[in-house]
Structure 1
Amino acid sequence: MRFLDLAATSAAVSATTGRRAKVELLAGALRALDPSEVAVGSGYLAGELRQRQTGVGWASLRDLPPPAAEPTLTVTAVDAAVDGIAAVHGPGSQARRRQLLTALLGAATADEQRFLVDLFRGELRQGAQAGLLADAIARAAEVPVAAVRRALLLVGDLRAVAVAARTGGAAALAGFGLRVGRPLAPMLASSAPSVDAALAVTGVPAVVDVKLDGIRIQVHRSGDDVAVFTRSLDEITARVPEVVAAVRALPVRELVLDGEAIGLDAAGRPLPFPQTSSRAARRSPGRATVPAGPDPTDPAATDPAATDPAATDPAATDPADLAVQAATDPADPAVLTPYFFDLLHLDGDDLIDLPGRQRWTRLAEVVDGSLLVGRVEVDDPGQAGAAFAAALDAGQEGVVVKSPDAPYDAGRRGSAWVKVKPRHTLDLVVLAVEWGSGRRQGWLSNLHLGARDPRTGDFVMLGKTFKGLTDEVLRWQTERFLGLAVERGDWVVRVRPEQVVEVAFDGVLASSRYPGGVALRFARVLRYRDDKSAAEADTIDTVRALHAGRSAG
Structure 2
Amino acid sequence: MLLQELVAVTDAVAATSSRLAKVAALADVLRRLDPAEVVPAIGFLLAAPRQGRLGVGWRSVTSLEAPHAEEPSLTLSEVDAALDTLARADGPGSVAVRSAELEALARRATPGEWDLLVRIMLGELRTGALEGVLLDAVAKAADRAPTAVRRAAMLSGDLGETALLALTGTAEQLDAVGLRVGRPVMPMLASTAASTAEALEGLVTDGRRVAASIEYKLDGARIQVHRDGDEVHVYTRSLAEITHRVPEIVDAVRALPAEQLILDGETLTLDEDGGPRPFQDTMARFGSETEAAAVLRPWFFDILHLDGRDLLDEPLSARLDALARVAGDARMPGIVTDDPARAADFSREALAAGHEGVMVKALDAPYAAGRRGKSWLKVKPVLTYDLVVLAVEPGSGRRTGLLSNLHLGALDPTGEFGAPGGFVMVGKTFKGLTDATLRWQTEHFPTIETHRSAYALHVQPVTVVEIAIDGVQRSSRYPGGVALRFARVKGYRPDKRPEEADTIQTLRTLLRG
1:171 and 2:165 equivalent?
no
Which residue is 1:441 aligned to? 400
Which residue is 1:43 aligned to? 43
* Aligned pairs (5 A) from 1:97-136: 97-136=98-137
Which residue is 1:30 aligned to? 30
Which residue is 1:326 aligned to? none
1:83 and 2:105 equivalent?
no
- Structure 1 position 333, deviation (Å): 4.7
CA shift in 2, pair 1:17/1:349, >3 Å: same
Secondary structure of 2:466 counterpart: strand
Which residue is 2:307 aligned to? 347
- Structure 1 position 60, deviation (Å): 2.6
Once the two structures are superposed, what CA deviation does each residue of 1:306-334 show, in whole Å capped at 9, x if it has no partner? xxxxxxxxxxxxxxxxxxxxxxxxxx952
Which residue is 1:193 aligned to? 194
1:227 and 2:233 equivalent?
yes
CA shift in 2, pair 1:338/1:381, >3 Å: same
Which residue is 1:403 aligned to? 362
- Structure 1 position 280, deviation (Å): 2.3
The TM-score with structure 2 as length reference comes to 0.94
Which residue is 1:500 aligned to? 464
* Aligned pairs (5 A) from 1:257-296: 257-284=263-290
- Structure 1 position 474, deviation (Å): 0.8
Which whole-Å CA distance do the structure 2 matches of 1:84 and 1:484 have between them? 22
Secondary structure of 1:541 counterpart: helix
Which whole-Å CA distance do the structure 2 matches of 1:93 and 1:512 have between them? 49
CA shift in 2, pair 1:266/1:91, >3 Å: closer
Secondary structure of 1:367 counterpart: helix
The TM-score with structure 1 as length reference comes to 0.88
CA shift in 2, pair 1:235/1:514, >3 Å: same
Secondary structure of 1:401 counterpart: strand
- Structure 1 position 231, deviation (Å): 1.4
Which whole-Å CA distance do the structure 1 matches of 2:170 and 2:396 have between them? 59
Which is further off, 270-279 or 156-165? Answer: 270-279
- Structure 1 position 189, deviation (Å): 1.2
- Structure 1 position 90, deviation (Å): 4.7
Which whole-Å CA distance do the structure 2 matches of 1:186 and 1:50 have between them? 20
Which is further off, 348-357 or 88-97? Answer: 88-97
Contact 2:47 2:122 in 1 (8 A): no
CA shift in 2, pair 1:508/1:97, >3 Å: closer
Once the two structures are superposed, what CA deviation does each residue of 1:384-426 show, in whole Å capped at 9, x if it has no partner? 1111111112222111011111001111111111111111111
Which whole-Å CA distance do the structure 2 matches of 1:213 and 1:468 have between them? 16
CA shift in 2, pair 1:96/1:533, >3 Å: closer
- Structure 1 position 367, deviation (Å): 1.8
The one of 295, 300, 311 aligned to 1:335: 295
1:428 and 2:387 equivalent?
yes
1:543 and 2:507 equivalent?
yes
Which whole-Å CA distance do the structure 1 matches of 2:94 and 2:127 have between them? 33
Contact 1:262 1:338 in 2 (8 A): yes
Number of matched pairs: 502
Let me know the Cα RMSD of the aligned residues: 1.6
- Structure 1 position 221, deviation (Å): 0.5
Which whole-Å CA distance do the structure 2 matches of 1:424 and 1:89 have between them? 44
- Structure 1 position 107, deviation (Å): 1.4
Which whole-Å CA distance do the structure 1 matches of 2:382 and 2:36 have between them? 51
Once the two structures are superposed, what CA deviation does each residue of 1:420-469 show, in whole Å capped at 9, x if it has no partner? 11111111111111111122111111111111112111111111111111
1:205 and 2:164 equivalent?
no
Which residue is 2:320 aligned to? 360
Secondary structure of 2:509 counterpart: helix
Task: Return 5+ residue gaps in structure 2 as ranges.
Answer: 205-209, 415-419
Which whole-Å CA distance do the structure 1 matches of 2:154 and 2:463 have between them? 23
* Aligned pairs (5 A) from 1:504-543: 504-543=468-507
